[in-house]
């Protein structure tokens, strides 16, 4: 039996959840970096270094979003057979996105 072609829903779910958690943390880091630039409080680093941090976090977010998309598209037919997992994004992830969007609108 070729184990490379086997699809394990549990590991896919864990991997997806892990990427979503990382994305939430990155989004908070991006918001923190933006606030630091806006308030001109850099914590012992220069403005240029703070901008590099923001750029780096934004690039990392793009990378993790790409990984999440790849995971979601990896074996869509197998995923669609799982209850509640087709096109899944965790409740925690959705709530974190809502919080970030609300914070962006209030600033």
**Considering the entire predicted model, what is its pTM?**
0.65
Report the C-alpha dihedral over residues 45, 38, 26, 51, rounded to 10 degrees: -50
What does the chain come to in residues?
107
pLDDT tens digits along 19-42: 999 999 999 999 999 999 999 998
d(CA 75, CA 1): 19
CA angle 29–21–14, rounded 5-degree value:
160
CB 75 within 8 A of CB 7: yes
Cα–Cα distances (Å) from 106 to 99, 100, 103, in that order, read: 11, 10, 5
Whether residue 2 has pLDDT greater than 90 = no
């Amino acid at each position: 039996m070729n184990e490379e072609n086997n699809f394990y829903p549990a590991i896919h779910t864990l991997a997806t959840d892990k990427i979503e958690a990382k994305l939430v943390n990155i989004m908070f880091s991006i918001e923190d970096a933006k606030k630091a630039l806006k308030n001109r409080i850099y914590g012992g680093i220069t403005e240029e270094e703070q901008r590099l941090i923001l750029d780096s976090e934004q690039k990392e977010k793009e990378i993790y979003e790409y990984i999440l998309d790849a995971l979601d598209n990896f074996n869509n037919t197998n995923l669609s057979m799982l209850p509640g997992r087709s096109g899944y994004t965790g409740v925690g992830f959705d709530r974190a996105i809502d919080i970030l969007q609300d914070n962006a609108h209030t600033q």
